[in-house]
Amino acid sequence: MKSVYEIENLRKVYKKGRKLANDDISFDVKEGEILSVLGPNGAGKSTLVKQMVAHSRPTSGSIFLFQRDVIQHSRDVSRLVGYYAQESWALANLTVREAIFFTARLRGIGKSDAERLTGWWLEKLSLNGISDNMMKRISGGQRRLAGLAAIMIGDPPVLILDEPTNELDPVKRKIVWELVREKNRDNGTTVLLVTHNVLEAEQVVDRVAIINHGKLQVIDTITNLKTRVDPRLKVEIIVQSGKRAEAEAILKQWGTVDIISENRVQMLVGRDEVNNLVSRIIKNLDELSCMEYKIVPPSLEDVYMKLGGHDHDELC
């Protein structure tokens, strides 16, 4: 698979050498993949992204987009990459329709195509009812959707979305994720996604890069990362109120029990042991006062907590 972006030994130092924002980062973004960049606040994600769209010059190292240096070809980057950073106040005084249409025209799309595509995006994102309202007078969520339409119009081959679902309600978040999936599936759009919403990102992304303290901690597919972190399955058991201690005493005979809450406990077991454990639980449902049990595979959140948090050193 061809690489869209090639990042080599990227280093970014701010404040006259006092703050190291990115430290020796190297990775590729493959054509047609959805790659998520995860990391805590201040980890250096946005700095990395700004350099990738040529809005910030690396202190050292290089970034190539389609084999060309992004700093030397910054206008080409703006032509090929749809970059969603934040709510843009540059569009605040335009109506929703104008914001999408003007951006399309500034992206070089012909007038009739821009009009057609603007209509399509307004309908697609259910913005028709507010198309003549000024951007500054619509809700934050609607403004984000309109901003996304403005950067996606014309289908640039690469999308870089920095926190696209921040402050969105669940319905609008779903719309955004479906849109990302759709563009990737139907157009082969390469997507780099910076998000804090790990649970939702898991449903969309192919690979994950975790950044912390300016360093790339790990980059791999979700499946591989889960295996690396902890391949065991979680068996969660919810017991009747006040019966946890008795249930815990029984469960301890079969393995280690973690207490999650007053009525909820959890056991971690290998895939080959899970059937045995579940059989035991089913046989002892009454003794355990078990109301509900479920088997949960490791999630991307587990991976993130392990690799993006304090104890990443032990795994990297």
Partner 1 sequence: MNSVDEGLAQTNATPIATATLTKAAPVPLLSSIAASMTELMYLLRIQYAEVRETWMWVIGLASIFPFTTLLFMKFFLENPSPEVVMRIVSGNIIFPIIIMGINGLGNHIAWSKQQGQFTFYASLPISKINFLLAFMIRGFLMSLPSVIIMSIVGQVVFHIQIHLTFGLLPMVLLSVAAPAGFGILIGFLSKNPDLTSMITNLLMVFLNFLTPVMIDINQLPKALQIISYLFPTTYAADGLRQMLQGTWTTSVTLDMIVLMLFTLLSFWIVVKKMDWRLEK
Binding site for partner 1 (CB under 8 A): 31-32, 50, 53-57, 65-68, 71, 73-76, 78-83, 85-86, 88-91, 93-94, 98, 102-103, 105-108, 116-117, 119-121, 123-124, 151, 155-157, 186-190
Name the DSSP letter for residue 57: -
The smaller minimum CB distance to partner 1, of residues 123 and 258, is found at 123
Give the residue with the Cβ less far from partner 1, 22 or 289.
22
CB 80 within 8 A of CB 67: no
Alpha-carbon span 131 to 146, nearest angstrom:
9
Complex with partner 1: residue 85 or 290, whichever CB lies closer: 85
Whole-number Å distance between alpha carbons of 270 and 220: 22
Neighbours of 177 (CB within 10 A): 19
C-beta of 3 vs 284, nearer to partner 1: 3
Give, to the nearest 10 degrees, the angle between helix 111-124 and helix 140-152.
Answer: 140
43 vs 47: CA distance, rounded Å: 9
Min dist CB 141 to partner 1, Å, is 19
Q: Which amino acid is at 260?
A: I
Alpha-helical runs (H) found in the chain = 45-52, 74-80, 96-106, 111-124, 140-152, 170-187, 198-202, 222-229, 244-251, 274-283, 285-288, 300-307
Contacts of 68 (CB under 8 A, 6+ apart): 76
Please report, for residues 269, 285, 286, the alpha-carbon distance to residue 266 in angstroms, rounded to integers and kept in the order given: 10, 15, 18
Q: Closest approach of Cβ 188 to partner 1, in Å?
A: 4
C-beta of 41 vs 112, nearer to partner 1: 112
Q: Find the shortest distance in angstroms from Cβ 47 to partner 1.
A: 10
* CB nearer partner 1, residue 121 or residue 304: 121
DSSP letter, residue 174 = H
User: How far apart are CB 42 and partner 1 at their closest, in Å?
Assistant: 17
Place of tokens 């955004």: 176
Task: Indicate the residue type of 76.
Answer: D
- CA dist 55 and 248 (Å) reads 56
CA angle 70, 72, 74 (to 5 degrees): 55
- In the chain the first and final C-alpha atoms are separated, in Å, by 26
Specify the residue, 5 or 293, whose C-beta has the smaller distance to partner 1: 5
Q: How far is the CB of 64 from partner 1 (least distance, A)?
A: 9
CB of 8 to partner 1, least distance (A): 17
- Shorter beta-carbon distance to partner 1: residue 99 or 210: 99
Distance of closest approach, residue 203 Cβ to partner 1, in angstroms = 21
Angstrom distance (rounded) from CA 309 to CA 111: 49
